[in-house]
Structure 1
Amino acid sequence: MKCYTHFYADGRFLECTGAARMALISPSYGTRIGDVVACSAHNVERAVHSARAGFRAWSASSIDERRGALQRLHHELESRAAAATHALAEEMGCPTWLGRLMQLPMPLKGLQFAIEGLEQVGWRETIGNGIVERVPAGVVVAITPWNFPLHQIVAKVAAAIGAGCSVILKPSEVAPGAAQLFMEAVHACDLPVGVVNMVWGAASVGEQLTTHPQVDRISFTGSTDVGRKIMASAAQGLTPVTLELGGKSAAVLLEDADLDAAIPAVVRLGMANSGQACVSQSRLIAPARLVPEIVERLRNAIASWPLGDPLEDATRLGPVATEGQLQRVRRMIGRAQEQGAKLLVGGAQPPAGLGQGWYVQPTLFGDVRPDMEIAQEEVFGPVLALLPYESEQEAADFANATRYGLSGAVWSRDAERAVDFARRMRTGQVVINGAAQNLATPFGGWGLSGFGRENGRFGIEDLLNYRSLHGAA
């Protein structure tokens, strides 16, 4: 049994004294494999005081000092890659191949782009008789999810370090091993005491942090429903928030799309991590006349994603992370059928041979209309909805038919046509013809997907305030 019993403040690991113990459940077997001990209100208060002291010291740091800290953190995190991959497979069901391919490389790239971003920020400019400075905002609360835990932790903590802020991290108790390893890497980096802190806890701990008068910024990644609650809590102190919330991303195949390239990519981006990604391409919008061919290609592509133990290298698709998530995905599959969507692959039944754990069959629906729940709401499971269209305008209308706007994709053999269509999509980012992910560009959403931006210099700038000095020039 693993027990996570310590929070981090004042530059060291300290024992949690909260009464609550949060069970750590194996998603592969549905059995208890450990506990996370919650912080008490006193523990949280200590972390806040630690962060205030850390901010006073770190806000005066030079760009060279911040760069050096991020470089050391990159080295320390890289040395823990194998342990993190194992922890993610064991605690949240991410297959080891995906851990090695994405879960670890993404935060390492994110750190590198934060380092480069330090030189790209316009820290000071002269306007008339004034000097305009960009200065650290203060103490940042970073609340992170379980689906890509290290990536999201790094996106927030690296930006805070780069901006000259201090940070209090509240990671998810669903995947605590990744956060623990991250804090061990931080501890080895020789940062000033109080710059990075971490607490464990459920909603009460989050509420204490988001309403605390000594907190200056809040950055949250998670569900839209929780994002609303955090925004309401932050409003008590008019504390600015960055919210990276849910998504219902569409991949649009234009008439001339290269199906050989597009179909495997769409399936990969819809199924990887068991569909538990805010940018998961869970809607495929395709020309009606090509639907029979596309369905056959999708069946073949999905068949290459076998379910299994995430610790085994041959496994492509592991379980979803929690029992609650399993039940939600199954309910949404059932409602899609009730609303008239045609089940083509998979379904809500447990997969053969995997009766234990939180496994969901990779699932494909056809005959989906834009008004159906399966086309409107985030599933966060390995479920793909196929929506046929008759005209390019209808394709654009379907792509923009949800209240979310986090990511999307478009495929066409004509690059200019693809770019033109991408500009019609109301979303924070669009991937054109399967382009490589660019973590140096700003990441964030529109509508119910939230606001604010992360990554590279944009994440650093999100945590800076302007100060104007009139007469200083």
Structure 2
Amino acid sequence: MRDTISPIDGSVYRSTTEHGTRDIENAISLAHRAFPDWAALSINERATFVTSFVAAIVADKADIATEITWQMGRPVAQSPGEINGFKDRADYMIGIAEEALHPFVPEGQSMGKRFVERVPLGIIGVMSPWNYPFLTSVNAIVPALMAGNVVLLKHSFQTPLVAERYAQAAIKAGLPKGVFQILHLNHENTARLIADPKLGGVCFTGSVKGGIAIQHALTDSFIPCGLELGGKDPAYVRADANLEHSIENLLDGSFFNSGQSCCGIERIYVHEAVYNRFIDGFVSLAKKYILGNPLEQDTDLGPMVKTEAADFVRAQIGRALHKGARSLIDETLFPSSKKGTPYLSPHVLVDVNHDMAVMTEESFGPVVGIMKVKNDEEAIGLMNDSKYGLTASLWTDDMDEAQSIAGRVEAGTIFMNRCDYLDPALAWTGYKNSGRGVTLSKFGYDHLTKVKSFHFREIK
């Protein structure tokens, strides 16, 4: 049994029975048998099933929101938004499947038939994290099913009820047996699942360390593996930025979900002409956060997922302060913020530099470092001075300049005047240690299928 400890009060919220070797073998065998018939369905037939699958989850949004809050600590006032986003992404990927999977026919057909089809990989292993338990998993699950694959979902033991909700929805939607299954696995058995020769592909969202472990488990295999890993996402506020808009949105991008987002804002570079005004506004607004019990409607900053996660951020902040950084938030303003608990106040650090881990290593918590820069060149250099490259955001009124800067920034997604957002019509991908592969958009289907060429010649 594995216990899910709620960050709200340290209680055991859920005890989950782990699956073992025999369970893995049975699930793979069942999936292997289910695959041919599922793949043989038309896209429209699969869409009917998957649409019902999604609807079954959305129907329980209110209960699911409370479960998410208890499992990982996000304020209950914000948790329903995850199911809204889940539905938006699912609906989009269902809607574009026909176009994305349409066969390619070369121009100038000669005698016979020549075309290229996208065919499913087979059994897809999906490994999802706790921080956005539906939003991360839907990116792989829905397009995998729409492409004709069958899915084995392994979710975090911090959010096991998310996996259970998916399993219940599959039954309600009447998905054929074996098309979608869940497994509660420890690290050793996850590696055993991934290494099974019947697996057709892997989609993993998690830490860089976890991504490396996935690669090691695939040492003797050549199957596709999508890795959505960590980030240290930067923002650059130019002199011509709308400061009120920039401050409000960057604050939310830094501290939403207690900073526990792979694409959250972790470092901000501000042009010297507006630096002081930006800092004053940012700090003033940060002090208005309410840190506390996430089950209360007025709470907008909940606990981090675990005390050790909060302690990691506390230690990172402490090392930065020791090296000369200054914290502009008095933690006593947030009585719930206490050492030895997962409750941590927001922190805004200045006088920081890239010799400090808080500006180079993923924090995954409610802390952001802000640096003054002289010009675009300095900002670009600092944004690119990272081993990560998931997203970056530019805050400016000049779209032409934004496009020029964006072309030089090393990240999978570049935003202008927004951050911490996934548009399902755009490819979601990472550079450097932020991962490889693509989810969402029509390009996401490329990584859940393989191409098969047909060259038929008629003899007359």
TM-score class normalised by the smaller sequence: over 0.9
Q: Does 1:470 align with 2:446?
A: no
1:448 matches 2:414: no
CA contact (8 A) 2:13 2:70 kept: no
Does the residue aligned with 2:40 lie in a helix, a strand or coil?
A: coil
Task: Give the residue type in structure 2 aligned to 1:444.
Answer: T
Q: Which residue of 2 aligns with 1:175?
A: 159
Q: Which amino acid aligns with 1:456?
A: S
Aligned to 2:335: 352
The equivalent position to 1:325 in structure 2, one of 265, 287, 309, is: 309
Aligned pairs for 1:241-320 (under 5 A) are 241-320=225-304
- Partner of residue 367, structure 1: 351
Q: 1:263 Cα deviation (Å)?
A: 0.5
Q: What amino acid sits opposite 1:146 in the alignment? A: W
- Contact 1:350 1:360 (8 Å CA) reproduced: no
Does the C-alpha gap of structure 1 residues 379 and 190 become closer, same or farther in structure 2, counting only changes over 3 Å? same
Residue 274 of structure 1: CA displacement?
A: 0.4
Structure 1 distance, partners of 2:267, 2:13, is 35
Deviation at 1:253, TM superposition (A): 0.4
The equivalent position to 1:155 in structure 2, one of 123, 132, 139, is 139
Matched residue SS, 1:425? coil
Name which of structure 1's ranges 323-332 and 212-221 shifts more when overlaid on structure 2: 323-332
Are 1:53 and 1:194, in contact at CA under 8 Å, matched by a contact in 2? yes
Say whether the 8 Å CA contact 1:234–1:240 is kept in structure 2.
no
Please say if residues 194 and 218 of structure 2, whose CA atoms lie closer than 8 Å, have aligned partners that are also in contact.
Answer: yes
Distance 2:283 2:457 in 1: 67
CA contact 1:50–1:197 (8 Å) conserved in 2? no
Instruction: Measure, in 2, the Cα distance between the counterparts of 1:410 and 1:185.
Output: 40
Find the partner of 1:81 among 61, 64, 75: 61
Correspondence for 1:189 among 173, 176, 199? 173
> What is the CA-CA distance between 1:99 and the residue it aligns to?
1.0
Instruction: Note the aligned Cα RMSD (angstroms).
Output: 1.7
State the Cα deviation string for residues 204-230 of structure 1 (Å, max 9, x = none). 121111111111101100000110110
**More displaced 10-residue stretch of structure 1: 268-277 or 327-336:** 327-336
CA distance in 2, matches of 1:279, 1:408: 9
Aligned to 2:100: 121
- Contact 1:249 1:279 survives alignment (8 Å): yes
Q: Deviation per CA, 1:217-264: give whole Å up to 9, x if none.
A: 011000001101101211222222100000011111011111010011
Instruction: Measure the CA separation in 1 of the matches of 2:392 and 2:448.
Output: 26
Structure 1 residue 72: Cα displacement: 0.8
Task: Supply the distance in 1 between the matched residues of 2:32 and 2:319 (Cα, whole angstroms).
Answer: 49
Partner secondary structure for residue 267 of structure 2? strand
**Which whole-Å deviations, capped at 9, do the CAs of 1:76-117 have from their partners, x for residues lacking one?**
11101111100011110011122123x111111111111112
Which runs of 5 or more residues in structure 1 are unaligned?
Answer: 1-20
Any gaps of 5 or more consecutive residues in structure 2?
Answer: none
Pairwise CA distance, 1:189: 0.9
TM-score, normalising length: structure 1: 0.92
Q: What displacement does 1:306 show?
A: 1.1
Equivalent position amino acid for 1:106 in 2: G
SS at match of 1:39: coil
TM-score normalised per structure 2: 0.94
Q: Which deviates more, 364-373 or 390-399?
A: 364-373
Per mean C-alpha deviation after superposition, the further-off stretch among 83-92 and 44-53 is 44-53
Deviation at 1:273, TM superposition (A): 0.4
Cα deviation for residue 122 of structure 1 reads 4.4
The 3-state SS of whatever aligns with 2:99 is coil
1:35 aligns with 2:35: no
What one-letter code is carried by the residue in structure 1 that aligns with 2:84? P
**DSSP 3-state at the match of 2:218:** helix
> Where does residue 415 of structure 1 map in the other structure?
399
Please tell me whether residue 164 in structure 1 is matched to residue 168 in structure 2: no
Q: CA deviation at 1:448?
A: 0.1
SS at match of 1:345: coil
Q: How does 1:55-134 map to 2 (within 5 A)?
A: 55-101=35-81, 103-127=82-106, 128=109, 130-134=114-118
Return the offset for 1:370.
2.6
Superposition misfits of 4+ residues, deviation over 6 angstroms? none
Q: Which residue of 2 aligns with 1:386?
A: 370
Counterpart-to-counterpart distance in 2, 1:258 and 1:354: 32
Q: For this pair of structures, how many residues does the alignment match? A: 451
Give the secondary structure class of the aligned counterpart of 1:126: coil
